[in-house]
Chains A and B, each alone.
Chain A
Amino acid sequence: MKTGFYPGCSMKGSAREYSESLLAVARVLGRELPEVPDWNCCGATAAHNLDHDLALALPARILAAAEKKGMDEVLVPCAACYSRLKVTRHELLEDEKLRQRISGLVEADYRGSAKVVNIIEWLAAVPDLEKLVKKPFQRKVACYYGCLLVRPAGIVEFDRPEEPQSMDLLMAKLGAKPIDWAFKTECCGAGFSVSRTDLVAKLSGLILEDAVSRGAEAVIVACPMCHLNLDLRRPNIEKRAGKKYDIPVIYITQVLGLAMGLPPKKLGLQRHKVAVKFAPAESPVPGVSAKRGA
Protein backbone atom coordinates (compact mmCIF):
# COMPACT_ATOMS: atom_id res chain seq x y z
CA MET A 1 0.00 0.00 0.00
CA LYS A 2 1.64 3.17 -1.19
CA THR A 3 0.43 6.19 0.74
CA GLY A 4 1.01 9.68 -0.53
CA PHE A 5 0.80 12.85 1.49
CA TYR A 6 -1.04 16.01 0.50
CA PRO A 7 -0.16 18.75 2.97
CA GLY A 8 -2.07 21.60 1.40
CA CYS A 9 -1.35 25.27 1.96
CA SER A 10 -2.08 25.56 5.67
CA MET A 11 0.20 22.68 6.66
CA LYS A 12 3.07 24.60 5.18
CA GLY A 13 2.03 27.85 6.76
CA SER A 14 -0.12 28.60 9.73
CA ALA A 15 -0.52 24.96 10.70
CA ARG A 16 3.10 24.06 10.35
CA GLU A 17 3.11 22.21 13.65
CA TYR A 18 0.46 19.82 12.38
CA SER A 19 2.79 18.78 9.60
CA GLU A 20 5.81 18.64 11.89
CA SER A 21 4.09 16.40 14.36
CA LEU A 22 2.68 14.19 11.63
CA LEU A 23 6.05 13.62 10.05
CA ALA A 24 7.67 13.00 13.41
CA VAL A 25 5.06 10.42 14.26
CA ALA A 26 5.30 8.83 10.82
CA ARG A 27 9.00 8.36 11.33
CA VAL A 28 8.38 6.45 14.54
CA LEU A 29 5.73 4.34 12.80
CA GLY A 30 8.20 3.63 10.06
CA ARG A 31 5.85 5.02 7.43
CA GLU A 32 7.08 6.95 4.47
CA LEU A 33 4.88 9.84 3.44
CA PRO A 34 6.08 11.13 0.09
CA GLU A 35 4.34 14.32 -0.94
CA VAL A 36 2.18 14.28 -4.06
CA PRO A 37 4.52 15.64 -6.74
CA ASP A 38 3.96 19.22 -7.86
CA TRP A 39 0.82 19.61 -5.79
CA ASN A 40 -1.33 22.70 -6.03
CA CYS A 41 -3.79 24.40 -3.74
CA CYS A 42 -7.00 22.42 -3.37
CA GLY A 43 -9.09 25.54 -3.95
CA ALA A 44 -10.64 25.46 -0.48
CA THR A 45 -13.69 27.63 0.03
CA ALA A 46 -12.61 30.21 -2.49
CA ALA A 47 -12.84 27.94 -5.51
CA HIS A 48 -16.14 26.23 -4.70
CA ASN A 49 -17.73 29.55 -3.93
CA LEU A 50 -16.87 30.92 -7.32
CA ASP A 51 -16.67 28.26 -10.02
CA HIS A 52 -17.72 24.64 -10.03
CA ASP A 53 -15.23 23.58 -12.69
CA LEU A 54 -12.34 25.22 -10.91
CA ALA A 55 -13.42 23.66 -7.64
CA LEU A 56 -13.21 20.23 -9.27
CA ALA A 57 -10.19 20.79 -11.46
CA LEU A 58 -7.81 21.82 -8.71
CA PRO A 59 -8.30 18.68 -6.61
CA ALA A 60 -8.49 16.53 -9.73
CA ARG A 61 -5.04 17.67 -10.75
CA ILE A 62 -3.68 16.71 -7.38
CA LEU A 63 -5.28 13.29 -7.42
CA ALA A 64 -4.26 12.62 -11.01
CA ALA A 65 -0.67 13.37 -10.04
CA ALA A 66 -0.95 11.00 -7.10
CA GLU A 67 -2.32 8.28 -9.38
CA LYS A 68 0.43 8.80 -11.87
CA LYS A 69 2.94 8.29 -9.07
CA GLY A 70 1.31 4.98 -8.26
CA MET A 71 -0.14 6.04 -4.94
CA ASP A 72 -2.95 3.78 -3.69
CA GLU A 73 -4.17 6.33 -1.19
CA VAL A 74 -3.52 9.95 -0.33
CA LEU A 75 -3.41 11.06 3.29
CA VAL A 76 -4.94 14.53 3.63
CA PRO A 77 -4.60 15.73 7.22
CA CYS A 78 -6.25 19.12 6.65
CA ALA A 79 -9.98 18.56 6.97
CA ALA A 80 -10.92 21.13 4.36
CA CYS A 81 -8.49 19.80 1.76
CA TYR A 82 -9.75 16.33 2.63
CA SER A 83 -13.31 17.41 2.01
CA ARG A 84 -12.45 19.01 -1.32
CA LEU A 85 -10.48 16.03 -2.57
CA LYS A 86 -13.03 13.50 -1.36
CA VAL A 87 -16.00 15.32 -2.84
CA THR A 88 -14.19 15.80 -6.13
CA ARG A 89 -13.37 12.11 -6.41
CA HIS A 90 -16.95 11.22 -5.60
CA GLU A 91 -18.45 13.63 -8.14
CA LEU A 92 -16.14 12.61 -10.93
CA LEU A 93 -16.65 8.89 -10.39
CA GLU A 94 -20.41 9.38 -10.42
CA ASP A 95 -20.55 11.33 -13.64
CA GLU A 96 -18.51 9.97 -16.52
CA LYS A 97 -19.01 12.98 -18.78
CA LEU A 98 -17.92 15.33 -16.04
CA ARG A 99 -14.85 13.21 -15.37
CA GLN A 100 -13.88 13.35 -18.99
CA ARG A 101 -14.32 17.09 -19.14
CA ILE A 102 -12.37 17.82 -15.98
CA SER A 103 -9.68 15.37 -17.04
CA GLY A 104 -9.42 17.41 -20.19
CA LEU A 105 -9.13 20.61 -18.22
CA VAL A 106 -6.26 19.32 -16.11
CA GLU A 107 -4.70 17.45 -19.00
CA ALA A 108 -4.52 14.17 -17.19
CA ASP A 109 -6.77 11.13 -17.44
CA TYR A 110 -8.11 10.98 -13.91
CA ARG A 111 -9.35 7.49 -13.02
CA GLY A 112 -10.10 7.69 -9.32
CA SER A 113 -7.88 4.81 -8.31
CA ALA A 114 -6.25 6.64 -5.41
CA LYS A 115 -8.39 6.72 -2.28
CA VAL A 116 -8.56 9.81 -0.11
CA VAL A 117 -8.15 9.26 3.63
CA ASN A 118 -8.20 11.61 6.59
CA ILE A 119 -5.81 11.54 9.53
CA ILE A 120 -8.14 9.59 11.78
CA GLU A 121 -8.78 6.88 9.21
CA TRP A 122 -5.06 6.59 8.62
CA LEU A 123 -4.22 6.36 12.30
CA ALA A 124 -7.05 3.94 12.99
CA ALA A 125 -5.56 1.61 10.40
CA VAL A 126 -2.21 1.43 12.19
CA PRO A 127 -2.09 -2.00 13.82
CA ASP A 128 -1.24 -2.21 17.54
CA LEU A 129 -1.01 1.53 18.06
CA GLU A 130 -1.36 1.01 21.80
CA LYS A 131 1.93 -0.84 21.89
CA LEU A 132 3.78 2.33 20.88
CA VAL A 133 2.37 4.35 23.78
CA LYS A 134 5.17 5.07 26.27
CA LYS A 135 3.58 7.95 28.16
CA PRO A 136 -0.18 7.51 28.25
CA PHE A 137 -1.87 10.87 27.77
CA GLN A 138 -3.91 10.62 30.93
CA ARG A 139 -6.01 13.71 30.53
CA LYS A 140 -9.69 14.38 30.06
CA VAL A 141 -10.06 15.48 26.47
CA ALA A 142 -12.85 16.93 24.38
CA CYS A 143 -12.52 15.57 20.84
CA TYR A 144 -13.62 18.25 18.42
CA TYR A 145 -14.46 17.00 14.94
CA GLY A 146 -15.66 20.19 13.34
CA CYS A 147 -17.72 20.16 10.16
CA LEU A 148 -15.75 18.40 7.50
CA LEU A 149 -14.28 15.22 8.89
CA VAL A 150 -17.52 13.25 9.00
CA ARG A 151 -19.79 15.17 6.63
CA PRO A 152 -21.44 14.92 4.19
CA ALA A 153 -22.16 11.40 5.37
CA GLY A 154 -23.06 10.03 1.97
CA ILE A 155 -19.69 11.00 0.49
CA VAL A 156 -17.33 10.65 3.38
CA GLU A 157 -18.83 7.38 4.59
CA PHE A 158 -16.73 7.54 7.70
CA ASP A 159 -17.93 7.41 11.30
CA ARG A 160 -21.30 8.79 12.38
CA PRO A 161 -22.12 12.28 11.17
CA GLU A 162 -24.04 13.40 14.27
CA GLU A 163 -22.28 11.67 17.13
CA PRO A 164 -18.87 10.57 15.84
CA GLN A 165 -16.64 8.32 17.89
CA SER A 166 -13.53 7.62 15.85
CA MET A 167 -11.33 10.31 17.38
CA ASP A 168 -12.59 9.43 20.85
CA LEU A 169 -11.67 5.80 20.32
CA LEU A 170 -8.24 6.77 19.06
CA MET A 171 -7.65 9.00 22.06
CA ALA A 172 -8.72 6.20 24.39
CA LYS A 173 -6.04 4.03 22.82
CA LEU A 174 -3.50 6.69 23.74
CA GLY A 175 -4.58 6.55 27.37
CA ALA A 176 -6.71 9.69 27.33
CA LYS A 177 -10.21 10.03 28.77
CA PRO A 178 -12.50 11.41 26.10
CA ILE A 179 -15.52 13.18 27.59
CA ASP A 180 -19.04 13.10 26.33
CA TRP A 181 -19.93 16.64 25.29
CA ALA A 182 -22.47 18.37 23.07
CA PHE A 183 -20.35 20.47 20.74
CA LYS A 184 -18.38 17.79 18.86
CA THR A 185 -19.61 18.86 15.46
CA GLU A 186 -20.84 22.39 16.11
CA CYS A 187 -19.45 25.10 13.87
CA CYS A 188 -16.44 27.09 15.08
CA GLY A 189 -17.05 29.97 12.69
CA ALA A 190 -14.80 28.56 9.97
CA GLY A 191 -13.76 30.97 7.25
CA PHE A 192 -15.33 33.94 9.06
CA SER A 193 -12.18 34.02 11.14
CA VAL A 194 -11.04 37.07 9.24
CA SER A 195 -14.21 38.73 7.95
CA ARG A 196 -16.42 38.25 10.99
CA THR A 197 -14.14 37.52 13.89
CA ASP A 198 -16.98 38.45 16.24
CA LEU A 199 -18.95 35.43 15.05
CA VAL A 200 -15.97 33.19 15.57
CA ALA A 201 -15.59 34.62 19.04
CA LYS A 202 -19.17 33.65 19.80
CA LEU A 203 -19.28 30.21 18.21
CA SER A 204 -15.84 29.05 19.23
CA GLY A 205 -16.54 30.49 22.66
CA LEU A 206 -19.59 28.28 23.04
CA ILE A 207 -17.48 25.27 22.11
CA LEU A 208 -14.82 26.02 24.68
CA GLU A 209 -17.37 26.84 27.37
CA ASP A 210 -19.06 23.48 26.96
CA ALA A 211 -15.77 21.59 26.95
CA VAL A 212 -14.49 23.39 30.01
CA SER A 213 -17.76 23.11 31.93
CA ARG A 214 -17.61 19.35 31.48
CA GLY A 215 -14.11 19.10 32.84
CA ALA A 216 -12.04 18.77 29.69
CA GLU A 217 -8.34 19.54 30.07
CA ALA A 218 -7.61 19.83 26.37
CA VAL A 219 -9.50 20.10 23.11
CA ILE A 220 -8.21 17.75 20.44
CA VAL A 221 -8.58 18.74 16.80
CA ALA A 222 -7.71 17.34 13.39
CA CYS A 223 -8.21 20.46 11.33
CA PRO A 224 -6.06 23.60 10.92
CA MET A 225 -9.11 25.85 10.69
CA CYS A 226 -10.57 24.51 13.93
CA HIS A 227 -7.24 24.98 15.61
CA LEU A 228 -6.93 28.52 14.39
CA ASN A 229 -10.34 29.57 15.61
CA LEU A 230 -10.10 27.84 18.95
CA ASP A 231 -6.47 28.74 19.62
CA LEU A 232 -5.34 31.82 17.75
CA ARG A 233 -8.60 33.65 18.31
CA ARG A 234 -8.49 33.01 22.06
CA PRO A 235 -8.14 36.71 22.96
CA ASN A 236 -11.31 37.50 20.99
CA ILE A 237 -13.14 34.64 22.65
CA GLU A 238 -12.06 35.74 26.12
CA LYS A 239 -12.95 39.35 25.43
CA ARG A 240 -16.46 38.49 24.36
CA ALA A 241 -17.02 35.99 27.15
CA GLY A 242 -15.52 38.23 29.75
CA LYS A 243 -13.50 35.42 31.27
CA LYS A 244 -10.29 33.53 30.74
CA TYR A 245 -9.94 30.13 29.15
CA ASP A 246 -6.64 28.35 29.56
CA ILE A 247 -7.65 25.11 27.89
CA PRO A 248 -5.09 24.18 25.23
CA VAL A 249 -6.02 23.04 21.73
CA ILE A 250 -3.85 20.22 20.48
CA TYR A 251 -3.60 18.39 17.18
CA ILE A 252 -4.21 14.68 17.32
CA THR A 253 -0.79 13.98 15.87
CA GLN A 254 0.79 16.05 18.63
CA VAL A 255 -1.04 14.02 21.27
CA LEU A 256 0.13 10.86 19.59
CA GLY A 257 3.68 12.19 19.54
CA LEU A 258 3.54 13.05 23.23
CA ALA A 259 2.18 9.61 24.00
CA MET A 260 5.01 8.07 22.02
CA GLY A 261 7.46 10.00 24.18
CA LEU A 262 8.62 12.49 21.55
CA PRO A 263 9.85 15.85 22.88
CA PRO A 264 7.31 18.71 22.67
CA LYS A 265 9.60 20.87 20.55
CA LYS A 266 9.70 18.19 17.85
CA LEU A 267 5.92 18.33 17.74
CA GLY A 268 5.75 22.09 17.34
CA LEU A 269 3.83 22.63 20.59
CA GLN A 270 5.65 25.90 21.09
CA ARG A 271 3.93 27.38 18.07
CA HIS A 272 0.51 27.50 19.73
CA LYS A 273 -0.98 30.73 20.99
CA VAL A 274 -2.40 29.09 24.06
CA ALA A 275 0.38 27.37 25.95
CA VAL A 276 0.07 23.65 26.17
CA LYS A 277 0.33 23.33 29.91
CA PHE A 278 -1.83 21.31 32.17
CA ALA A 279 -2.96 22.17 35.65
CA PRO A 280 -1.64 19.85 38.32
CA ALA A 281 -3.82 16.80 38.92
CA GLU A 282 -5.10 18.07 42.27
CA SER A 283 -6.41 21.32 40.86
CA PRO A 284 -10.15 21.68 41.52
CA VAL A 285 -10.89 23.31 38.18
CA PRO A 286 -8.84 21.65 35.47
CA GLY A 287 -7.79 23.85 32.57
CA VAL A 288 -8.16 27.15 34.33
CA SER A 289 -5.22 28.53 36.31
CA ALA A 290 -4.65 31.84 37.99
CA LYS A 291 -1.60 32.83 35.97
CA ARG A 292 -1.42 32.63 32.20
CA GLY A 293 1.34 30.43 30.90
CA ALA A 294 1.98 28.89 34.30
Chain B
Amino acid sequence: MQALRSKARELLATKTVQVIIGYASGGGGRARAVFVREAAKADALVFDDSCQQNLAVYFSKPEVRKLGKAALVATPAALRAILQLAAENQIAEGELLALAVGGDDVVPLATFAAIEAHVAARDGDWSAAEKEELQKYEAMGLEERRRFWEEQFSRCLKCYACRAACPLCYCTRCTVECNQPQWIPVPAHDLGNLEWNVMRAMHLAGRCVDCGDCGRACPVNIPLHLLNRRLIREVFTVFGSRSGRSAKGDNALSTFKPNDPEDFIQ
Protein backbone atom coordinates (compact mmCIF):
# COMPACT_ATOMS: atom_id res chain seq x y z
CA MET B 1 0.00 0.00 0.00
CA GLN B 2 2.81 2.44 0.84
CA ALA B 3 4.49 1.65 -2.42
CA LEU B 4 1.24 2.44 -4.18
CA ARG B 5 0.78 5.73 -2.40
CA SER B 6 4.34 6.89 -3.02
CA LYS B 7 4.08 5.91 -6.66
CA ALA B 8 0.87 7.85 -6.92
CA ARG B 9 2.42 10.89 -5.31
CA GLU B 10 5.32 10.70 -7.71
CA LEU B 11 3.13 10.37 -10.78
CA LEU B 12 0.97 13.31 -9.82
CA ALA B 13 3.83 15.50 -8.70
CA THR B 14 5.70 14.98 -11.95
CA LYS B 15 2.43 15.51 -13.84
CA THR B 16 3.00 12.21 -15.64
CA VAL B 17 -0.69 11.68 -15.14
CA GLN B 18 -3.51 14.01 -14.23
CA VAL B 19 -5.54 11.59 -12.17
CA ILE B 20 -5.09 8.35 -10.34
CA ILE B 21 -8.14 6.10 -10.44
CA GLY B 22 -7.92 3.85 -7.42
CA TYR B 23 -9.67 2.50 -4.35
CA ALA B 24 -10.43 4.29 -1.09
CA SER B 25 -12.08 3.06 2.06
CA GLY B 26 -15.82 3.15 1.87
CA GLY B 27 -18.16 2.48 4.72
CA GLY B 28 -18.82 -0.91 6.25
CA GLY B 29 -15.43 -2.43 5.42
CA ARG B 30 -15.90 -1.90 1.71
CA ALA B 31 -13.77 -0.14 -0.83
CA ARG B 32 -15.01 2.42 -3.30
CA ALA B 33 -13.51 4.16 -6.28
CA VAL B 34 -11.56 7.35 -5.83
CA PHE B 35 -10.14 9.87 -8.32
CA VAL B 36 -7.01 11.43 -6.84
CA ARG B 37 -5.89 14.53 -8.65
CA GLU B 38 -3.48 16.01 -6.11
CA ALA B 39 -0.33 14.38 -4.83
CA ALA B 40 -1.21 15.40 -1.32
CA LYS B 41 -4.39 13.35 -1.38
CA ALA B 42 -2.60 10.16 -2.41
CA ASP B 43 -2.90 8.72 1.07
CA ALA B 44 -6.56 8.09 0.42
CA LEU B 45 -5.50 5.19 -1.79
CA VAL B 46 -5.83 1.74 -0.31
CA PHE B 47 -5.37 -1.75 -1.66
CA ASP B 48 -6.58 -4.84 0.11
CA ASP B 49 -8.88 -7.81 -0.35
CA SER B 50 -11.93 -5.59 -0.42
CA CYS B 51 -10.64 -3.96 -3.61
CA GLN B 52 -12.46 -6.09 -6.17
CA GLN B 53 -14.22 -3.61 -8.41
CA ASN B 54 -12.96 -3.43 -11.98
CA LEU B 55 -11.89 0.19 -12.16
CA ALA B 56 -11.36 -0.01 -15.93
CA VAL B 57 -15.06 0.75 -16.18
CA TYR B 58 -14.35 4.37 -15.44
CA PHE B 59 -12.08 4.66 -18.36
CA SER B 60 -14.95 4.48 -20.79
CA LYS B 61 -16.84 7.35 -19.12
CA PRO B 62 -16.34 10.66 -20.92
CA GLU B 63 -16.33 12.59 -17.65
CA VAL B 64 -13.27 10.66 -16.53
CA ARG B 65 -11.55 10.95 -19.88
CA LYS B 66 -11.89 14.68 -19.63
CA LEU B 67 -9.72 14.67 -16.53
CA GLY B 68 -6.70 13.89 -18.69
CA LYS B 69 -4.20 11.04 -18.74
CA ALA B 70 -5.00 8.58 -16.00
CA ALA B 71 -3.18 5.97 -13.99
CA LEU B 72 -5.36 3.06 -13.02
CA VAL B 73 -4.89 0.83 -10.01
CA ALA B 74 -5.42 -2.43 -11.80
CA THR B 75 -6.50 -5.82 -10.57
CA PRO B 76 -5.75 -8.68 -12.99
CA ALA B 77 -9.31 -8.41 -14.32
CA ALA B 78 -8.89 -4.70 -14.91
CA LEU B 79 -5.72 -5.37 -16.89
CA ARG B 80 -7.60 -7.79 -19.08
CA ALA B 81 -10.34 -5.23 -19.51
CA ILE B 82 -7.80 -2.66 -20.63
CA LEU B 83 -6.42 -5.05 -23.23
CA GLN B 84 -9.86 -5.89 -24.52
CA LEU B 85 -10.80 -2.24 -24.75
CA ALA B 86 -7.58 -1.67 -26.67
CA ALA B 87 -8.42 -4.52 -29.03
CA GLU B 88 -11.78 -2.84 -29.61
CA ASN B 89 -10.09 0.47 -30.35
CA GLN B 90 -11.47 2.20 -27.27
CA ILE B 91 -8.07 3.06 -25.80
CA ALA B 92 -4.98 4.13 -27.68
CA GLU B 93 -1.44 3.34 -26.64
CA GLY B 94 -0.22 5.79 -24.05
CA GLU B 95 -3.61 7.08 -22.94
CA LEU B 96 -3.50 5.06 -19.79
CA LEU B 97 -0.90 3.95 -17.29
CA ALA B 98 -1.81 0.74 -15.54
CA LEU B 99 -0.56 0.20 -12.00
CA ALA B 100 -0.61 -3.51 -11.38
CA VAL B 101 -0.73 -4.08 -7.67
CA GLY B 102 0.30 -7.37 -6.08
CA GLY B 103 1.16 -7.68 -2.42
CA ASP B 104 3.32 -4.68 -1.66
CA ASP B 105 4.55 -4.23 -5.19
CA VAL B 106 3.39 -1.74 -7.74
CA VAL B 107 4.32 -2.48 -11.32
CA PRO B 108 3.68 0.39 -13.67
CA LEU B 109 2.74 -0.86 -17.13
CA ALA B 110 2.91 1.92 -19.67
CA THR B 111 2.49 0.00 -22.91
CA PHE B 112 0.01 -2.60 -24.03
CA ALA B 113 2.86 -4.98 -24.69
CA ALA B 114 3.89 -4.64 -21.06
CA ILE B 115 0.35 -5.32 -19.90
CA GLU B 116 0.11 -8.35 -22.22
CA ALA B 117 3.33 -9.77 -20.82
CA HIS B 118 2.20 -9.14 -17.25
CA VAL B 119 -1.14 -10.82 -17.85
CA ALA B 120 0.40 -13.75 -19.67
CA ALA B 121 2.86 -14.42 -16.86
CA ARG B 122 0.08 -14.71 -14.35
CA ASP B 123 -2.57 -16.27 -16.48
CA GLY B 124 -4.32 -19.37 -15.29
CA ASP B 125 -7.50 -21.29 -15.31
CA TRP B 126 -10.44 -20.73 -13.02
CA SER B 127 -9.94 -21.72 -9.41
CA ALA B 128 -11.36 -24.99 -8.21
CA ALA B 129 -14.15 -23.15 -6.45
CA GLU B 130 -15.08 -21.23 -9.59
CA LYS B 131 -15.13 -24.40 -11.66
CA GLU B 132 -17.23 -26.12 -9.07
CA GLU B 133 -19.74 -23.31 -9.08
CA LEU B 134 -20.31 -23.57 -12.80
CA GLN B 135 -20.41 -27.34 -12.68
CA LYS B 136 -23.03 -27.25 -9.96
CA TYR B 137 -25.43 -25.57 -12.35
CA GLU B 138 -24.60 -27.76 -15.25
CA ALA B 139 -25.20 -30.84 -13.17
CA MET B 140 -28.76 -29.69 -12.67
CA GLY B 141 -31.08 -30.89 -15.36
CA LEU B 142 -32.52 -28.53 -17.95
CA GLU B 143 -35.78 -28.15 -16.04
CA GLU B 144 -34.08 -27.36 -12.74
CA ARG B 145 -31.91 -24.77 -14.38
CA ARG B 146 -34.92 -23.21 -16.01
CA ARG B 147 -36.70 -22.93 -12.66
CA PHE B 148 -33.56 -21.53 -11.06
CA TRP B 149 -33.10 -18.76 -13.58
CA GLU B 150 -36.81 -18.00 -13.71
CA GLU B 151 -36.69 -17.43 -9.99
CA GLN B 152 -33.54 -15.36 -10.24
CA PHE B 153 -34.84 -13.16 -13.03
CA SER B 154 -38.12 -12.63 -11.27
CA ARG B 155 -36.16 -10.45 -8.83
CA CYS B 156 -34.50 -8.35 -11.53
CA LEU B 157 -35.44 -4.68 -11.24
CA LYS B 158 -34.11 -3.60 -14.66
CA CYS B 159 -31.86 -1.20 -12.81
CA TYR B 160 -29.06 -1.91 -15.35
CA ALA B 161 -26.43 -1.77 -12.59
CA CYS B 162 -24.83 -4.74 -14.30
CA ARG B 163 -24.49 -2.71 -17.44
CA ALA B 164 -23.09 0.28 -15.59
CA ALA B 165 -20.52 -1.82 -13.78
CA CYS B 166 -19.19 -3.56 -16.88
CA PRO B 167 -16.12 -1.98 -18.49
CA LEU B 168 -17.08 -3.45 -21.84
CA CYS B 169 -20.56 -2.00 -21.88
CA TYR B 170 -19.52 1.34 -23.30
CA CYS B 171 -22.03 1.96 -26.09
CA THR B 172 -23.10 5.56 -25.88
CA ARG B 173 -26.62 4.52 -26.78
CA CYS B 174 -27.43 1.10 -25.49
CA THR B 175 -29.87 -0.98 -27.48
CA VAL B 176 -32.35 -0.91 -24.61
CA GLU B 177 -32.51 2.83 -24.91
CA CYS B 178 -33.95 2.76 -28.41
CA ASN B 179 -37.69 2.89 -28.31
CA GLN B 180 -38.52 2.89 -32.03
CA PRO B 181 -39.14 0.00 -31.64
CA GLN B 182 -38.67 -0.89 -27.99
CA TRP B 183 -36.76 -4.10 -28.50
CA ILE B 184 -36.34 -4.94 -24.83
CA PRO B 185 -39.29 -3.87 -22.75
CA VAL B 186 -38.66 -1.42 -19.95
CA PRO B 187 -40.81 -2.71 -17.09
CA ALA B 188 -39.44 -5.45 -14.87
CA HIS B 189 -41.48 -8.47 -15.80
CA ASP B 190 -40.27 -12.01 -16.37
CA LEU B 191 -40.14 -12.00 -20.13
CA GLY B 192 -38.40 -8.68 -20.45
CA ASN B 193 -35.94 -9.59 -17.71
CA LEU B 194 -35.03 -12.78 -19.52
CA GLU B 195 -34.62 -10.94 -22.79
CA TRP B 196 -32.45 -8.27 -21.20
CA ASN B 197 -30.16 -10.79 -19.57
CA VAL B 198 -29.85 -12.87 -22.72
CA MET B 199 -28.99 -9.79 -24.70
CA ARG B 200 -26.43 -8.68 -22.17
CA ALA B 201 -24.76 -12.06 -22.14
CA MET B 202 -24.76 -12.38 -25.93
CA HIS B 203 -23.43 -8.88 -26.50
CA LEU B 204 -20.55 -9.71 -24.19
CA ALA B 205 -19.87 -13.11 -25.71
CA GLY B 206 -16.23 -13.33 -26.71
CA ARG B 207 -15.57 -9.99 -24.99
CA CYS B 208 -16.23 -10.43 -21.28
CA VAL B 209 -13.01 -10.54 -19.25
CA ASP B 210 -14.55 -12.33 -16.30
CA CYS B 211 -14.19 -9.65 -13.63
CA GLY B 212 -17.49 -10.62 -11.98
CA ASP B 213 -18.55 -7.04 -11.34
CA CYS B 214 -21.95 -7.60 -12.90
CA GLY B 215 -22.85 -10.15 -10.28
CA ARG B 216 -21.37 -8.02 -7.54
CA ALA B 217 -23.23 -4.93 -8.69
CA CYS B 218 -26.63 -6.58 -8.82
CA PRO B 219 -28.64 -5.24 -5.91
CA VAL B 220 -30.81 -8.34 -5.73
CA ASN B 221 -27.88 -10.80 -5.91
CA ILE B 222 -28.58 -12.51 -9.20
CA PRO B 223 -25.40 -14.47 -10.10
CA LEU B 224 -25.15 -12.77 -13.50
CA HIS B 225 -21.47 -13.48 -13.84
CA LEU B 226 -22.30 -17.16 -14.32
CA LEU B 227 -23.94 -16.46 -17.65
CA ASN B 228 -20.84 -14.70 -18.84
CA ARG B 229 -18.59 -17.42 -17.49
CA ARG B 230 -20.53 -20.10 -19.28
CA LEU B 231 -20.07 -18.26 -22.54
CA ILE B 232 -16.39 -17.64 -21.85
CA ARG B 233 -15.98 -21.37 -21.55
CA GLU B 234 -18.03 -22.03 -24.68
CA VAL B 235 -15.98 -19.59 -26.71
CA PHE B 236 -12.75 -21.05 -25.45
CA THR B 237 -13.69 -24.69 -25.87
CA VAL B 238 -15.21 -24.32 -29.29
CA PHE B 239 -13.19 -21.52 -30.90
CA GLY B 240 -10.05 -21.48 -28.80
CA SER B 241 -10.35 -17.72 -28.18
CA ARG B 242 -9.96 -15.81 -24.98
CA SER B 243 -10.68 -12.15 -24.57
CA GLY B 244 -8.43 -9.72 -22.74
CA ARG B 245 -5.08 -11.32 -23.58
CA SER B 246 -4.02 -9.14 -26.45
CA ALA B 247 -4.41 -5.51 -27.41
CA LYS B 248 -4.83 -6.53 -31.03
CA GLY B 249 -7.05 -9.02 -32.67
CA ASP B 250 -10.62 -9.77 -33.37
CA ASN B 251 -13.40 -10.90 -31.13
CA ALA B 252 -14.46 -14.49 -31.40
CA LEU B 253 -17.83 -13.47 -32.83
CA SER B 254 -16.46 -11.11 -35.45
CA THR B 255 -14.21 -13.70 -37.00
CA PHE B 256 -14.66 -17.25 -38.12
CA LYS B 257 -12.77 -20.29 -39.28
CA PRO B 258 -13.98 -22.16 -42.36
CA ASN B 259 -14.09 -25.36 -40.35
CA ASP B 260 -15.89 -24.09 -37.25
CA PRO B 261 -17.95 -26.89 -35.74
CA GLU B 262 -21.44 -27.34 -37.04
CA ASP B 263 -22.56 -30.75 -35.89
CA PHE B 264 -25.83 -29.29 -34.66
CA ILE B 265 -26.65 -27.90 -38.08
CA GLN B 266 -28.62 -30.23 -40.29
Direct contact of A and B (CB under 8 A): no
Interface residues of A (CB under 8 A from B): none
